[in-house]
Amino acid sequence: MKKIGKFAVSICLCMVLLTGCGGAKVPDVVDKPAVSVGGEGEVTVWQTGEFGETYYNVAELAAMAEQEAADYNAEKGKEAAVTVEKVEALAGGSVVVAYRFDGWESCSDYMGETFFFGTVQQAGINGFDTGNAAMKSVKDGSPQAAWDADKKVLITDMKADIYCPGRVESISEGASVNEDGSIKPSGEDGLLYILLK
* Whether the predicted pLDDT of 18 surpasses 90: no
User: Helix 58-76 crosses helix 104-111 at what angle (to 10 degrees)?
Assistant: 120
pLDDT digits (tens, 9 = 90+) for 100-132: 999 999 999 999 999 999 999 999 999 998 878
What domains sit in the chain, N to C, each tagged with a CATH number?
A: 31-112 (3.30.1360), 118-197 (no CATH)
Please give the pLDDT value at position 131. 79
d(CA 33, CA 157): 13
pTM comes to: 0.82
Tell me the C-alpha to C-alpha distance, in Å, between residue 95 and each of 36, 43, 80: 18, 20, 23
The DSSP-derived string for 106-136 is HHHHHHTS-EEEEEHHHHHHTT--GGG--EE
pLDDT digits (tens, 9 = 90+) for 53-108: 665 688 999 999 999 999 999 999 999 999 999 999 888 888 999 999 999 999 99
13 confidence band (pLDDT: 50, 70, 90) = very low
**Contact (CB, 8 A) for 26 and 98:** no
**Contact (CB, 8 A) for 163 and 38:** no
